[in-house]
Structure 1
Amino acid sequence: MAELYPSTPSTPSRRTTLRAAGGGTLLLGLGLAGCRSAVSESGATDPKAAAGPRRGGTVTVAVNSDFTPSLLFSQSGQSLQQRLVFNTLTRYDDRLRPQPELATSWDYAPDGRSITLKLRTGVTFHDGRPFTADDVVFAVKNLQNPLRAAQLRATAAAVTGFDKRGDHELTLRLAHPVNNLFDLFEFMIITDRNSVEDAVTGKRLIGTGPFKLAKWSPGTGLSLTRNETYWQPGRPYLDGVELRVIPQADALISSLRTGQSQLSFNVPGKSLAIVKNNPDLTVTSYDTGAGAYYLGVNTTVAPLDDKLVRQALAWAVDRERLLKQALGGYGLDSAAPWPKSSPAFTETGRTHYTYDPGKARELLKAAGHPRLRLPLLHISLPGDTALAESIQYDLKQVGVDVTLQPTDPATAQKNLISQNMPALWTMGHGFAQVQPSTLAVSAYPFNEAKNTSKFRSAAYTRVVREAWTSRATGAAANAQQSRISDILLDEAFIIDLVIRGNVQVASTTLHGVTLNKFSYLNLDDAYLAG
């Protein structure tokens, strides 16, 4: 199996990261076409692909849950379609260096208190309205709105002023430096400010992206058609995209094997062996660190308010078996949230908790709770159910009996946001694959100010805020990240289990698929051959 998380190259300098000579055709091409590493397990070269891109055809993407309009501005399992309809300002390459998209270049002030963006000209929304600096101002203010439930709201809120110089140059003034501004720029979709309320109800989705919404059929999926006035000349190649909801794993796999679907990122890990040997399908693993599966703990529910009990749970789970059985070996067993591509990753953190049921039982006994009975919420999809069942089995071995509570994805996400979780839950989290500070100021499970576990700590807040607003690099930055990791591991209010990679299953006729750091699907350069 291809290694999902290769060793991280040396971290680029801050000046390289924060400034880019942008706007040239060559730089733009590198930013969009070569932005994400992926390793195909087939190793084969398709002669039809070598003939070059061809125009036409519709790609059907099999997804296991429906588009949820109310979560449009938050990152979740329903975010795959974001980059099909909308653009973002910038886009990271594999080394977390921002590349141009709707912003062609930028200049950070030396004190980190402002950034000036030059914006792409000649871009129009799907309804024909020109894209201008006002749309960027709206996008930032929109994420500042607490009703949008956007994970990067704290970063958006650091923007306190806007200075426009015509329609295509804009300076953002910041209340204080933040080291994850380009995370915001890649996360923040640029929506039409005149129809945003229709967007969050699913009535209209108007962006500047390569495809336009033709129809949303709740429970069935999205139908998208080519944007004939897209700002990238000659793109997209495809006539359209269908995102088809197929929640049952067997049916989803069947749709791929029979050619009814050409692409999916939702084949359960333990089922990947079935499709891997199909000559008409290609399995590709992305090294972006798509997120992690974790065990969440509500620290207001006794005895989970005792960190000894939480640490016992962390020792009780067999991460290696979970990785193999629930995820088919695709990922990295880890007690810390960071993928190997993150500057915060350390092998010491990854192995801080290993499988030690004896130690788990000792800690539970020392805390005075040798037997416990607790509920465990999980998403009612095949892969998530397998994960929950594995956790249930492990916890039972140390005297913790859990009752599974299956929940649909949209409800689970809303409960996560509203802090309405039972004693235990298991889900996936993102945001460890970008700047490390983003996880602790943005992700719902980890947010230092308001997290789903209801964990509060002055020490945690202090180290997170220091890292977020710091301009440190090298050893100093590593030390800040290490302090965050130390608290996460010691307090164990979120118990990380497996870093998962995005695993793409695609027809051998489909080429040019990429993902951004937030797992937004990019089909600008995708085409069908054969």
Structure 2
Amino acid sequence: MTSLSRRSLLRGSVAAAGLLSLAACRSAAESGDGAAASAGPRRGGTLSLATTIDYTPSLLFAQSANTLVQRLVFNTLTRYDDQLRPQPELATSWQPAADGRSITFKLRDDVLFHDGRKFTADDVIFAVKNLQNPVRSAQLRSTAATVTEFRKNGDHELTLELAHPVSNLFDLFEFMIITDSATVEDAVAGKQLIGTGPFRYGKRTPGSSITFTRNEKYWNPGRPYLDGVEIRVIPQADSLVSSLKTGQSHLSYHVPGKDLAGLKGSGQFQLRPYDTGSGAYYIGVNVSAEQVKDKRVRQAISWAVDRERLVQQALGGYGLPSAAPWPKSSPAYSDANATHYRHDPAKARELLKEAGVSGLTLPFAHSNTPDGTAIAQILQHDLKQVGIETELQPTDSPTMQKQLISQTMPALWTLSHGFAQLHPATLAVSAYPFNEAKNSSHFSSPGYTDIVQRAWKRPDSDSAEAKALYQQVTDTLLDEAFVIDLAIGGQIEVAGTKVHGATLNKFNYLNLDDAYLTV
């Protein structure tokens, strides 16, 4: 999309009615809900969703492994469709300034918080300031921080003044949940959640479950269809799969790759791969560790790994082997970047020899989830073939997230990252592994900072000039190899045949506005 067409799109006054169902952002390669859905939505029932990872209240405002709660309880200003075109949610229309230095929103006037209080422009102001607070560890804090002034015109019109144009402003509005200012500290402490969303917070049993009930005063007419939602925490992969097979759980986004083919072949489940690229798998390298300071060692690691095998064996064949972070939908994607590093153990050994490295043993942290463990074991094998021994350190997901934020990772770790599925500059100013100002790898470079800042401060994201900057960002990532991308994959939705209408947004927030269960 040209910057002109993008501006025309953003300036359009878009009515919310009739667009809400289109705005739900699911990019599923397989979407047939089956004949059971032909009778139309059915009201009632409680959806049971199984996950391997417990909800962590302190990470409510960060993109993390537990993003199932955000869109159940809260709303955002806007939400993307599958082409990254913003659609209305709590904002009904918007008007950016021609110079990209401000944007004016008109807001819904029929929205109530769960405690009965009316939603107003003040709540948007609080949401922006909340993400500007470094305590929240929000990856899009730098984008929120570009908002320097707020001008209200009544309770339901608001202008945001920006310090400079940014190419990813609507990424912020997709990410930023609108929370209740009076209870926000209770929210991050796990005591209560009050929002404007389709479900009200019920009860949480840490390590076991969290429940939600229908918001009877939801602003979206007739929604939600479900009476409630239960998120069940089942850390053991076999137990999670069993709960799906027996019908105790209706839906999961955390089925290990090795089990996907069997579930698909059973005829009892619908598998829907999201092609948003929101779950890219990578090796992170702490460049402050003496053994990996030489970029030739890091490049050797990238040549050593067999990305094709990893996708087939650990991810069940769902994913794109890639040495670069970008999904095919990104303006930063190219085949040449994706295949820059191939599986070449001889090349890896040659680079290690050039660097004067032998007998290398490195600590290697990984998530203790089934997929995390499978990926780490495959990578451990590949690295051993070129003479790099690793000591695996299985770690729970909340701890790894805190280590990412605090930059206390060991020499190597493997996780998944998001943010490449959005406007490309967002990755390098927001994601903990890539952030040009302060990243988990302790990598810094004036050149990297310069190109990232120039890409970010553009008013457009898809012009020839912008794409040239993205290529420079990618060149730096591939050369310096402080983040070694392995495969691009999205979430895989595994749903029983009774489940219809569940969607994820670009940040994997679960949207159940239109979800329902058939008998």
Aligning the two structures, in what range does the TM-score lie when normalised by the shorter sequence?
over 0.9
Q: Cα RMSD (Å) of the superposition?
A: 1.3
Aligned to 2:439: 451
Aligned: 1:183 with 2:175: no
CA contact (8 A) 2:253 2:492 kept: yes
Give how far 1:305 is off: 1.1
Residue type at the aligned position of 2:73 = V
Aligned to 1:5: none
Give how far 1:335 is off: 0.1
Q: Distance in 2 between matches of 1:371 and 1:345?
A: 36
Query: Which deviates more from structure 2 when the two are superposed, residues 508-517 or residues 458-467?
Result: 508-517
Query: Which deviates more from structure 2 when the two are superposed, residues 272-281 or residues 343-352?
Result: 272-281
Q: Distance in 1 between matches of 2:196 and 2:505?
A: 17
CA contact (8 A) 1:11 1:95 kept: no
Aligned: 1:172 with 2:178: no
Q: Distance in 2 between matches of 1:451 and 1:274?
A: 39
Alignment of 1:285-304 (within 5 A): 285-304=273-292
Q: Deviations over 1:49-69 (max 9, x none)?
A: 100001000000001111000
Aligned: 1:23 with 2:15: yes
Displaced runs of 4 or more, over 4 A: 9-12
* Pairing partner for 2:481 from 484, 487, 492: 492
* Pairing partner for 1:51 from 39, 47, 53: 39
Give how far 1:446 is off: 0.2
Aligned: 1:367 with 2:362: no
* Pairing partner for 2:184 from 187, 192, 196: 196
Equivalent residue of 1:40, what SS? coil
Aligned to 1:510: 499
Aligned to 2:456: 468
Equivalent residue of 1:105, what SS? strand
Q: Distance in 1 between matches of 2:3 and 2:54?
A: 38
Give how far 1:87 is off: 0.3
Alignment of 1:348-427 (within 5 A): 348-427=336-415
Residue type at the aligned position of 1:105 = S
Give how far 1:491 is off: 0.5
Aligned: 1:205 with 2:193: yes
Residue type at the aligned position of 1:428 = S
Q: Distance in 2 between matches of 1:216 and 1:31?
A: 30
Q: Distance in 2 between matches of 1:65 and 1:244?
A: 9
Give how far 1:475 is off: 1.3
Q: Deviations over 1:173-199 (max 9, x none)?
A: 000111111000000000101000000
CA contact (8 A) 1:91 1:185 kept: yes
Equivalent residue of 1:421, what SS? coil
* Pairing partner for 2:315 from 318, 327, 330: 327
Equivalent residue of 2:487, what SS? strand
Aligned to 1:4: none
Give how far 1:24 is off: 4.0
Q: Distance in 1 between matches of 2:331 and 2:85?
A: 13
Q: Deviations over 1:349-383 (max 9, x none)?
A: 10010000000000000000032000000011111
Give how far 1:114 is off: 0.4
Aligned: 1:523 with 2:512: yes
Aligned to 1:251: 239
Query: Which deviates more from structure 2 when the two are superposed, residues 451-460 or residues 74-83?
Result: 74-83
Give how far 1:221 is off: 1.9
Q: Deviations over 1:379-408 (max 9, x none)?
A: 111110000000100000001000000101
Equivalent residue of 1:194, what SS? helix
Q: Deviations over 1:457-492 (max 9, x none)?
A: 000000000000013442111111111111111110
Aligned: 1:481 with 2:470: yes
Aligned to 2:335: 347
Q: Distance in 2 between matches of 1:253 and 1:503?
A: 14
Distance 1:10 1:95, change over 3 A: farther
* Pairing partner for 1:39 from 20, 29, 32: 29
Residue type at the aligned position of 1:516 = N
Q: Deviations over 1:308-336 (max 9, x none)?
A: 11111110000000110000100100000
* Pairing partner for 1:240 from 228, 236, 240: 228
Give how far 1:281 is off: 1.2
Residue type at the aligned position of 2:304 = A
Query: Which deviates more from structure 2 when the two are superposed, residues 21-30 or residues 331-340?
Result: 21-30
Q: Distance in 1 between matches of 2:10 and 2:306?
A: 41
Give how far 1:286 is off: 1.3
Distance 1:10 1:510, change over 3 A: farther
Q: Distance in 2 between matches of 1:222 and 1:475?
A: 47
Q: Distance in 1 between matches of 2:441 and 2:345?
A: 24
Give how far 1:21 is off: 2.2
Aligned to 1:92: 80
Distance 1:442 1:144, change over 3 A: same
CA contact (8 A) 1:288 1:433 kept: yes
Q: Distance in 2 between matches of 1:274 and 1:59?
A: 23
Residue type at the aligned position of 1:527 = Y
CA contact (8 A) 2:16 2:88 kept: no
Give how far 1:302 is off: 1.1
Q: Distance in 2 between matches of 1:226 and 1:291?
A: 30
Give how far 1:10 is off: 8.8
Aligned to 1:3: none
Give how far 1:17 is off: 4.5
CA contact (8 A) 2:275 2:489 kept: no
Q: Distance in 1 between matches of 2:8 and 2:23?
A: 15
Residue type at the aligned position of 1:502 = Q
CA contact (8 A) 1:22 1:28 kept: no
Q: Distance in 1 between matches of 2:358 and 2:349?
A: 7
Equivalent residue of 1:238, what SS? coil
Q: Aligned pair count?
A: 518
Give how far 1:274 is off: 1.8
Give how far 1:288 is off: 1.3
Equivalent residue of 1:289, what SS? coil
For structure 1, the 5+ residue unaligned runs are 1-8
Q: Distance in 2 between matches of 1:178 and 1:470?
A: 6
Aligned: 1:307 with 2:299: no
State the percentage of identical aligned residues.
Answer: 65
CA contact (8 A) 1:361 1:370 kept: no
